[in-house]
Each structure stands twice: as structure tokens, then as C-alpha cells.
Structure 1
Amino acid sequence: MYNVPIYKETDQQVIFDFLKEYPFAFITGVGSDGRPVATQIPFLVEDRDDGLYVVGHVMKNTDHCKAFKENPDVLIVFSGPQGYVSASWCANPHKGSTWNYMSVHIKGKVHFFEGEKLVTFMKRFTLIHEEGNTNSPTIYDNLSNDYTEKWMPHIVGIEIKADKLDTVFKLSQGLDKESYANVITQLEQRGNTKLAFEMKKRIK
């Protein structure tokens, strides 16, 4: 990971909020054959007494699921807004352009779960993503028994405690105020409002 102190986020609440806002993450590991595997899935983030956990589910009959069972050590990469930043937008344009982005890396071990714990998770997962709408036909409680009995055996829950967490929130922190403000304006004009918004939040 890009290790520059000014780009590190240390506020745990800011990190937690980021993970909830951008839950679709890249999870990668290595199987017993030494080959890398990866997939992307949405996670729920849980701040428990003993640390931060991310919880999701994967299809069983996949290369990544098999690899995670053989070697549970994984890396999960959460990505947020990103975009090109031209040096021409700065007070001193005679330097290299760059790329702003936000990313959180979590390392830990995969623990699998099924049965009632998986059912409980899927109920929570579907309800959260249906914005609490208990009348939605697609939340777990409103699915038919035929449907859940057919598909639930094909998935397994995964839970990873964040044994190591690292961040890069590279948002032009080293620029002077004039250049910083102009980068925000240029991003907004180009439709990259999310990245511009994240930069605005850090104006003091």
C-alpha cells in the first residue's frame, strides 16, 4: 500500500463510515497451488467489542471459496471516489499530474458459517439493502420457501476480523489552499462530485 503519512486516515469513525458507504470490495487470497484468486462482493461492517469485522457471503463452488478454505488469509480492498488531478489546475502547474483516490485495506482470516447464522445474516443483509422496507418482495423473510431451499445450500457466509487495517485517502493534502480549491472546482465541472465532496469535507 502507498505509505505516505499525510494520506493516512486515523479517525476510526471516518474509516467505519467509509466502509459502510462503499461496501462493495475486492477480496483476494492464494490457494494451496500458490495461484491468486479474487472476487468482489458487498460486505456489512460490524464494530464489535473485540474489533472491526466485515461479513458477507459467496457462492460455494468457486475457485475463490475453495482457496479461502485451503488458505484463510485474505486481503480485502475497499475503494471509494477516485479521479485524475491535472497539475494544470494548480498554482504551480510545472510538475507531474496525479490521481486522487480513497482506499481501505483489511487483512485477516476468513471464517465460514452456515445454518441459522447464515439465515440471520441474509435477513439483515437484504433488509439493509432494501432500506428497511419490510414490504419489499425481495427481503429474505418475503422469499418463498421453494426459492430459499433451492439457493441457500449454494452459498456460505464469510466473516473476517480486521487483524490489520490500512488506509490511503489521497486527496491533494499537500496543495496550497488556492490550488486545493481549484482542484475541487475542476472536479465538479467534470462531474466527479463525490471526489470533490470528500475533498470539501477536509477544508479547515
Structure 2
Amino acid sequence: MSVWSPRNAAEVATLVARHPLAWVVSSAPSFHATPLPLVADLAEDGSVAALVGHFALRNPQVEALRANPRALVLFQGAQGYVSPELVSQPQWAPTWNYAVARFQVEIAFDQQDNGEALDRLIAHMEGDRPDRWTVADMGERYEPMSRHIIAFTAKVLSCDATFKLGQDETPESFAQILTGHPDAGLVAAMREAGG
């Protein structure tokens, strides 16, 4: 375990929830990569057990994954360049801070799950707003559109996450970066990681 390993499974689940757009990458018979928003199913210990989403049926990656269901799913959270101008320490070198999660998965398709997959994704994205949008708002447009997608569940086989967010900085340098960095999202992620 490195200084940049997440402290617990909940940190990885939070990254997925806050940054749901992931790259689904498959390699056989040829490389395919599709950006898709995904929602996590959590295990009892808070770790990500599966990822739920949907593909457009016309996407050639669907057939590739039917032939070989193993894939890599890549999530990226807060990230950004950290300039030496933020730190008063002489000879400090620039760096790039980031939070990422890499999941090896096995994908199973089921068009019967289209409605549930869409409902979950939309509920996650719309949040708790009182006037949040739902699939029912599409009315009769939903049925013909749903025939052009296919839901999937990606069972997590392994997870490797890196939260390189200033944990190796001196307290003084860390505080200076938090004070001077222009990216509020990266600063918030660094604060949460605790430096």
C-alpha cells in the first residue's frame, strides 16, 4: 500500500459517484473505448461490487464485449497541474495531482434491464431536486428510444485506485498549495485526502 492508496473503499465509491463518466475499454478482438456514465452497486463493506450502465446497440463495442466480456473501466476524479509558484520551498518541482480508479470487470448485457438501468442513472444524476426529471417525462418517446440501447452490469473483478493528492508534501507546502491553487475541485479533493 502506497501513500497514494485510498484510505478505504468508501473513497473509491465516492469518486465513482461524483465523477460517473468512465471509459469502458475492451481489447478483443480489437481495442474499443467508450465513455459512459455509470452507477455503482456497493458491497456490504462499501466497496464497488458492480457498475451499471447502458450502451447504444449500434456501438461495435457491444458485439466485441459479447464475444469477450472482460473490460477495463477507468474513472477520473479531480486532477490538475500544481505549479512551483504556489510553494515557497526552493527547488520544489511541479507535479500533477489526481484521483483515479481502474476496475477490471466482466460485463453481462440484458436488454430487459434497460428501464431499471436508466432509472438509476437518471435518479443519480438528477439528485434530490423536488422537480427532478424522470423517464416517465419522455412519455411515448421512451419505448422506441429504449429499443436502441442495451443495459449491462459490469461485475468488478479487481480495483486499483490512486489518490495522488499531496499526501507526500510537507505541511507547509500542502497548505500553500491549498491556499493558492485556482481549481476549487482539486483543492477540495486534496483537503478530503488530508495531505
* 1:8 match: secondary structure: coil
For 1:133 and 1:89, how far apart are their aligned partners in 2? 38
Measure how far apart 1:181 and its partner are.
Answer: 0.5
Does 2:57 match 1:60? yes
TM-score, normalisation: structure 1: 0.85
**Which residue of the partner structure matches residue 168 of structure 1?**
162
Give unmatched runs, 5+ long, in structure 1: none
Q: Is the 8 A contact 1:30 1:68 kept in 2?
A: no
Measure how far apart 1:67 and its partner are.
Answer: 1.5
Does 2:73 match 1:82? no
For 2:194 and 2:131, how far apart are their aligned partners in 1? 42
The equivalent position to 1:157 in structure 2, one of 128, 151, 161, is: 151
Aligned 1:121-136 pairs, distance under 5 A:
121-132=117-128, 136=132
Q: Is the 8 A contact 1:44 1:54 kept in 2?
A: yes
Residues matched between the structures, number: 193
**Which residue of the partner structure matches residue 139 of structure 2?**
144
The equivalent position to 1:72 in structure 2, one of 62, 69, 73, is: 69
Q: In the superposition, relative to structure 1, how do residues 202 and 119 fare at CA in structure 2: closer, same or farther (>3 Å)?
A: closer
Q: Structure 1: which 4+ aligned runs deviate by more than 6 Å?
A: none
Measure how far apart 1:71 and its partner are.
Answer: 1.4
For 1:128 and 1:88, how far apart are their aligned partners in 2? 39
**Which residue of the partner structure matches residue 37 of structure 1?**
32
Does 2:194 match 1:197? no
Letter paired with 1:47? L
* 1:7 match: secondary structure: coil
More off after superposition, 43-52 vs 173-182: 43-52
Q: In the superposition, relative to structure 1, how do residues 65 and 163 fare at CA in structure 2: closer, same or farther (>3 Å)?
A: same
TM-score, normalisation: structure 2: 0.89
For 2:156 and 2:168, how far apart are their aligned partners in 1? 29
Percent identity over paired residues: 22
Measure how far apart 1:92 and its partner are.
Answer: 3.0
Does 2:91 match 1:94? yes
> What do the CA deviations read for 1:66-123 (whole angstroms, capped 9, x no partner)?
22112111111110111111234334331431100010111011110112x2212222
Give unmatched runs, 5+ long, in structure 2: none
